[in-house]
Amino acid sequence: MAYEHSINNDRCKGCGLCVTVCPKNVLEISNKVNAKGYFPAFQARPEDCIFCALCCTMCPDVAITICEIETEATGKT
């Protein structure tokens, strides 16, 4: 099963808790301001994400979601 990690830029207040908790050093704080005037977190190294969900659990603003995504059946076993 594949997963998709997403951060809602406009919910994020840039507290950095998710950056600190990530065991794979995937996240960083952006230098671009969001609609509320905060610098949001983003996945700087998405290829390293193991979808452990620690960042989602830690975020006080529920800005991070991890969803299962449909993958094409390949027929391979």
Contacting residues toward ligand SF4, per CB under 6 A: 5, 7, 12-18, 21-22, 24, 26-27, 40-41, 49-55, 58-59, 61, 63-64
Please identify, using beta-carbon distances, which residue of 51 and 77 lies nearer to ligand SF4: 51
H or E element at residue 66: strand 64-69
Task: Provide, rounded to whole angstroms, the least separation between the CB of residue 37 and ligand SF4.
Answer: 13
Task: Provide, rounded to whole angstroms, the least separation between the CB of residue 33 and ligand SF4.
Answer: 13
- Angle (CA) 71 68 11, round 5°: 135
Please identify, using beta-carbon distances, which residue of 32 and 76 lies nearer to ligand SF4: 32
Phi, psi of 5 (to 5 degrees): -105, 130
Task: Provide, rounded to whole angstroms, the least separation between the CB of residue 60 and ligand SF4.
Answer: 6
* Inter-residue contact 66 to 3 (CB < 8 Å): yes
Token pair of 66 as six digits:
């991890």
